Chains A and B, each alone.
Chain A
Amino acid sequence: MDAQNAAAPIVICDDVSFIYPGGEGIPALDGISLEIAEGELMAIAGLNGSGKSTLCRLLNALLLPARGKVISCGLDTALPENLFEIRRQVGLIMQNPDNQIVGPTVEEDVAFGPENLALRRDEIHARVEEALEAMHLTALREREPHLLSLGEKKRLAAAGAMALRPRVLVSDESTSMLDAPTRAETISLFKRLRDEQGITVIHATHRPEEILAADRVALLGSGRLLFEGSPHALFEKVELSEAHGLRPTALYHLVRELEQRGCRLPGTALEAKEVAEGLWALR
Chain B
Amino acid sequence: MGIALKGVGFTYLPGTPIARDVLSSIDLHLHAGEILCLMGRTGSGKSTLLNVMSGLLGATCGEISLDGENINDRAGTRALRNAAGVLLQSSEMQLFAESVEKDVAFGPRNLGQSGEELKQVVRDSLAAVGLDPEVYSSRSPFTLSEGEMRRVALAGVLAMRPRYLLMDEPTSGLDLPGRRLLYAILEGLRENGVGVLMVTHDWEEVELLANRVAVLSQGHILLEGEKEVVATATCELASAGLRPPALVAVLFELRRMGLDLPIRLSSPVETAAIIAAALEGAVR
A23 close to B174 (CB less than 8 A) = no
A selection of 7 A-B contacts at a CB cut-off of 8 Å is A151-B41, A177-B172, A178-B42, A180-B201, A180-B202, A245-B175, A251-B246
- Tally of A-B Cβ pairs under 8 angstroms: 146
Q: In whole angstroms, how far apart are the Cα atoms of A183 and B178 in the complex?
A: 21
B268 close to A257 (CB less than 8 A) = yes
B275 close to A149 (CB less than 8 A) = no
Q: Does A181 contact B (CB under 8 A)?
A: yes
Assuming the contacts A22-B143, A180-B201, A280-B257, asked whether A95 and B173 have C-beta atoms less than 8 A apart, the reply is yes
Residues of A within 8 A of B40 (CB): 179
B272 close to A261 (CB less than 8 A) = yes
Q: Does A138 contact B (CB under 8 A)?
A: no
Size of the A side of the interface (Cβ < 8 Å), in residues, is 51
Residues of B within 8 A of A (CB): 12, 18, 20, 40-43, 47, 89-90, 140, 143-148, 169, 172-178, 201-204, 241-243, 245-247, 249-250, 253-254, 257, 259, 267-269, 271-273, 275-276, 279, 282-283
Complex interface: stretch among A10-18, A118-126, A194-202, A270-278: A270-278
Q: Does A3 contact B (CB under 8 A)?
A: no
Given contacts A257-B269, A272-B249, 19 further A-B contacts (CB under 8 A): A47-B176, A48-B175, A48-B178, A173-B173, A176-B173, A179-B40, A179-B41, A180-B203, A181-B41, A206-B174, A206-B175, A245-B175, A254-B250, A257-B271, A258-B275, A263-B279, A272-B250, A276-B253, A279-B275
B146 close to A53 (CB less than 8 A) = yes
A48 close to B147 (CB less than 8 A) = yes
Assuming the contacts A182-B41, A263-B275, A283-B282, asked whether A246 and B176 have C-beta atoms less than 8 A apart, the reply is yes
Assuming the contacts A48-B146, A251-B247, asked whether A150 and B90 have C-beta atoms less than 8 A apart, the reply is yes
Q: Which of B18, B47, B176, B259 has the most CB of A within 10 A?
A: B176
Q: In whole angstroms, how far apart are the Cα atoms of A277 and B275 in the complex?
A: 13
Residues of A within 8 A of B242 (CB): 179-181
Residue of chain B at shortest CB distance from A96 = B90
Q: In whole angstroms, how far apart are the Cα atoms of A272 and B243 in the complex?
A: 10
Pick from A177, A183, A283: contact of B173, CB under 8 Å: A177
Residue of chain A at shortest CB distance from B12 = A147
B177 close to A276 (CB less than 8 A) = no
Residue of chain A at shortest CB distance from B248 = A272
Residues of A within 8 A of B253 (CB): 272-273, 276-277
Residues of A within 8 A of B257 (CB): 276-277, 280
Residue of chain B at shortest CB distance from A45 = B175
A177 close to B246 (CB less than 8 A) = no
Residues of B within 8 A of A250 (CB): 204, 245-247, 267-268
B41 close to A245 (CB less than 8 A) = no
